[in-house]
Amino acid sequence: MTTGPGVRPEGPLAARLDAALRKPAAQQPVWPDPRRARAVVAELSRAEPIVAADETARLAGELAAVARGEAFLLQGGDCAETFAGDTEAHQRGNLRTLAHMAAALVHRAGLPVVTVARMAGQYAKPRSQSVNAQGLPAYRGDMVNSVEPTPTARTPDPARMLRARAGAARSMGVVREFHRDGEIYVSHEALLLDYERAQLRVDDRGPEPRLSSGLGHFLWIGERTRQLDGAHIAFAELLSNPIGVKIGPSTTPEQAVEYVRRLDPHREPGRVTLVSRMGHAWVRDVLPPIVEKVTASGSSVIWQCDPMHGNTYLSANGYKTRDVRHVVDEITGFFEVHRRLGTRPGGIHVEVTGDDVTECVGGASAITEEDLPTRYETACDPRLNARQGLALAFAVAELVAASRT
């Protein structure tokens, strides 16, 4: 597969990129040797892209269909990919689970499904505390430091960005081989800007020249880095890739309108996906004014529900977990809101793996809090296992089918 050399940014786009990257950027590591980090960024810039701009453009077309209500968006995978965990068996298991979930949705909901894996670059994590209870720097994902709890292992190492790129390229090979019955696109959180800045090619096919990231088809901005005056949103504005923005319960309708105005000035259906992750207790109250105001502003975004990140809690035995009942309840509330407002529930975004893990309680595997230690393997947030994921897809398929009557 040829990805094409592309044209590196210069002129006005390069100047806008520099200005974006000079804005305050949340959640960035402090590299102990900035010169070494710059050398790594230069080396990354010379590497082959992981995805082709043509593929990303095809995804944009499919997401336009999602925005029009003609397809459903299924996004999922690990919370954090890891170097050690990136075996072909693990990746194929995750892809198989996504494919089964997509098949369940197509079969029952009668809509084409656009499948996007959290894969091939999901190696950097935002953290709520930069130092943990033991005084160690937080683990920020394998792209930055090691999960091992020692001061040396937790020191950010820019060479990890090179390992991440190589791992992402290998993962993309697994995805391409898996394809056969339909395309699976890849996505990750555009968090670590030294990584993201390195693979940008001028893309002239849209309404204005933009930059196509060769590091993933779909990129999203997380809940902790969506500051309107920050670097991440300014960076996302310049990309031609479809963009997601995670919106949590503190998001105001005015902020949501501003994300859409900034990221989708030409009102291209499906260019922006607003990923609501409100929590099951909040979604019915917090989401409606946001949906109303964005809809009134005239843009057609994709409304996607992430029913995971607003529902995390600590179990009595000390595991970060989620209850499948809360996950289902948030999605149900999300569909209720859209039915009430006459808008379209466009997709779901979940943390799920094909491995038989015990990280989330309840659901198809009836996992209890006591069961959590049996196979709790995630490097970050708890994932649904294959059975829980498939059962969720059947439940969502019913909701999609009902929303179309």
From the list 187, 179, 175, the residue with the least C-alpha distance to 78 is 187
Task: Tell me which residue has tokens 């997380």.
Answer: 222
* Residue 254 token pair: 């005015």
Q: What does 345 bind: ligand PEP, Mn ion, none (CB cut-off 5 to 8 Å by kind)?
A: none
* CB of 350 vs ligand PEP, minimal distance in Å: 10
- 232 touching ligand PEP, by CB under 6 A: no
Q: Which of 63, 79, 174, 337 binds ligand PEP (CB under 6 A)?
A: 79
Under rule CB under 6 A, residue 126 binds ligand PEP? yes
Beta bridge partners of 73: 114, 347
Under the binding rule (CB under 6 A), the answer on residue 309 touching ligand PEP is yes
Q: List interacting residues with Mn ion (CB under 5 A).
A: 79, 381
What is the chain's length?
A: 405
**277 scored as a contact of ligand PEP (CB under 6 A):** yes
Q: Cα separation of 121 and 144, whole Å?
A: 12
User: Of ligand PEP, Mn ion, none, which one does residue 142 interact with (CB within 5 to 8 Å by kind)?
Assistant: none
Segment lying near ligand PEP (by CB under 6 A), choices 54-62, 66-74, 161-169, 216-224: 216-224
The DSSP annotation for 114-150 comes to EEEEE-SS------S-SB-TTSPBPP--TTT--SSSS
- Least Å from the CB of residue 168 to ligand PEP: 16
Q: Which does 246 bind (CB under 5 to 8 A by kind): Mn ion, ligand PEP, none?
A: ligand PEP
Give 210 or 378: the residue with its C-beta nearer to ligand PEP.
Answer: 378
Is residue 62 a contact partner of residue 71, using CB atoms and an 8 Å limit?
A: yes
Instruction: Say if CB 238 and CB 276 are below 8 A apart.
Output: no
307 is a site residue for ligand PEP (CB under 6 A) = no
Q: Which does 271 bind (CB under 5 to 8 A by kind): ligand PEP, Mn ion, none?
A: none
E strand segments, 127-269: 184-189, 200-203, 210-213, 218-221, 243-247
Q: Which of 223, 264, 323, 330 binds ligand PEP (CB under 6 A)?
A: 223
**Nearest residue to 310 (alpha-carbon basis) of 275, 345, 339, 352:** 275
Instruction: Quote helix, strand, coil % in the chain, to nearest 5.
Output: 40, 15, 40
Conformational region of residue 23, where left means phi above 0, alpha means psi within -120 to 50, and beta covers everything else: beta
Output the smallest distance, CB 278 to ligand PEP, in A.
10
Partner from Mn ion, ligand PEP, none contacting 90, C-beta within 5 to 8 A by type: none
Residue 121 interacting with ligand PEP (CB under 6 A): no
Q: Binder to ligand PEP among 160, 246, 280, 344 (CB under 6 A)? A: 246
Residues that bind ligand PEP (CB under 6 A): 79, 126, 189, 222-224, 246, 277, 309, 381
